[in-house]
Amino acid sequence: MEEYSELPPIGDTGGYELLPVPKLEELGYGDVSQEYIPPFRGGETEALKRMRESLQDKEWVAKFEKPKGDPSAFLKPATTVLSPYLKFGCLSARYFYHCIQDVYRSTKTHTKPPVSLAGQLLWRDFFYTVSFGTPNFDQMEGNKICKQIPWIENEELFVAWRDGRTGYPWIDAIMIQLRKWGWMHHLARHSVACFLTRGDLYIHWEQGRDVFERLLIDSDWAINNGNWLWLSCSSFFYQYHRIYSPISFGKKYDPNGDYIRHFIPVLKDMPKEYIYEPWTAPLSVQEKARCIVGKDYPKPVVDHEAASKECRRRMGEAYASNRLGGNPVKGNSSNSSRRKFSDGGQDVPDSSMSKQPR
C-alpha cells in the first residue's frame, strides 16, 4: 500500500478536469421552484443534531420497540428519522450504535434486539449480508429465497396506487407523503406495500420497490428489496393471511383523520365518521364537505373485503405450488374484486415485520 506524507494543495487537480455540479435540468428535473420542500435537511451536522435530540430522551430509547409507534404522526414523527443520514453516510452506523449503548448503560432496563433501537441497526446489517450472499436478490426470477408468485399485471391499478388515487384515504395519504417528503413511518410503508401486493391489488413487489427506490430519501438497495420481499410474503415472513386493513388500521391511531386531512386537503372538511371511507358518506354530507366522491376524490379501485379474500386464495395456491416444486405461471389481470365497498381483513402487525432504522 502506498503511503503519502502530504496531500496536494487545494485546487491542484493535476491533469484532471473538474466538472461542474450538474444543473437540475440536466438531471431530468423541470421547474422545482414551486415544489413542496421536505422537512428534512441533509448533512452531517443535521444528522448529529437529530441523533442527539433523539437520544436525549433516555426513557424513549430504553423502551423503543418496533414495530410499535404511530404511523400517522407527521408533525413530530414517532421514530428518529435517521435512516436518510445513515443511507448517505452523514451519520456513522457504528457511532450511532455506540451512542445507543451509552444510553443503555445509564438505564436499568431496555428492550432487546430485534425490536430495540440497536436491533434496527442489526437488521440493517442482516439485509446487507443476505443481499450480498443471494444472487438476484432484487428480483423474483432466479432468486432462490424468493417464493415464485404469479402476480398480476394491471397498469391502471398500479398507477392509482403510485399516484395516491386508490380511493382509500389512508393509503393515498401515505403515498402523497412519500411523494412530497420522501419519507414515511415504517408502519405506513407496511400498509401501502401490503395493499399493493398480497393485501388488495396482487401486483408484483418489484413495481412497488421501484417506486420506493425512486422517491424515498432513505432508499437503500439491500434494505428496500429486503423489506419488499418481507412485506409481500415472498421471503422471510410467510403469514400471508395477516393483512393490513386500509380502513381500520390507520383509524386506530388517528380517529379524527388529521394525517389524511393534511396530505389530502380535498378531504379536510369530511366528518371524521367518513374520513376513512368517504364513499359511504351521504351525498348531502359530501356536498357540505365540498368533496364529491367520484368527482373531487376517486372511488375505491377495489372492494377491500373481496380483494383481500381473493389475494389470500391466490397466495395459498402459490405457496402450495412452491411446496410441490411447481413454477406458477404469470397471472392475468382481474377485475373480480371491484366495487361493493366494505371494510375487512386483519390489521395486526407482526413484531418482526419492520427492518430499517427509520
What φ, ψ does residue 29 adopt, rounded to 5°? Answer: -100, 150
Q: According to the annotation, is 127 in a ligand binding site?
A: yes
Q: According to the annotation, is 200 in a ligand binding site?
A: no
**Taking a C-beta distance cutoff of 8 angstroms, is the pair 224, 209 a contact?**
yes
Q: According to the annotation, is 333 in a ligand binding site?
A: no
Q: How many angstroms separate the CA atoms of 128 and 238, rounded?
A: 21
Q: According to the annotation, is 19 in a ligand binding site?
A: no
**Taking a C-beta distance cutoff of 8 angstroms, is the pair 255, 246 a contact?**
no
Q: How many angstroms separate the CA atoms of 278 and 294, rounded?
A: 10
Q: How many angstroms separate the CA atoms of 283 and 295, rounded?
A: 12
**Taking a C-beta distance cutoff of 8 angstroms, is the pair 170, 191 a contact?**
yes
Q: According to the annotation, is 106 in a ligand binding site?
A: no
Q: According to the annotation, is 109 in a ligand binding site?
A: no
Report the amino acid identity of residue 323.
R
Q: According to the annotation, is 219 in a ligand binding site?
A: yes
Q: According to the annotation, is 258 in a ligand binding site?
A: no
Q: According to the annotation, is 302 in a ligand binding site?
A: no
**Taking a C-beta distance cutoff of 8 angstroms, is the pair 67, 357 a contact?**
no
Q: According to the annotation, is 220 in a ligand binding site?
A: yes
Q: According to the annotation, is 218 in a ligand binding site?
A: yes
The conformation of residue 87, written as its DSSP 8-state character, comes to H
The grid coordinates of residue 143 equal 432468486
Q: How many angstroms separate the CA atoms of 197 and 201, rounded?
A: 6
Q: According to the annotation, is 229 in a ligand binding site?
A: no
Query: Which residues does the annotation place in the binding site?
Result: 79-83, 120-127, 218-220
Query: Which residues does the annotation place in the binding site for FAD?
Result: 79-83, 120-127, 218-220
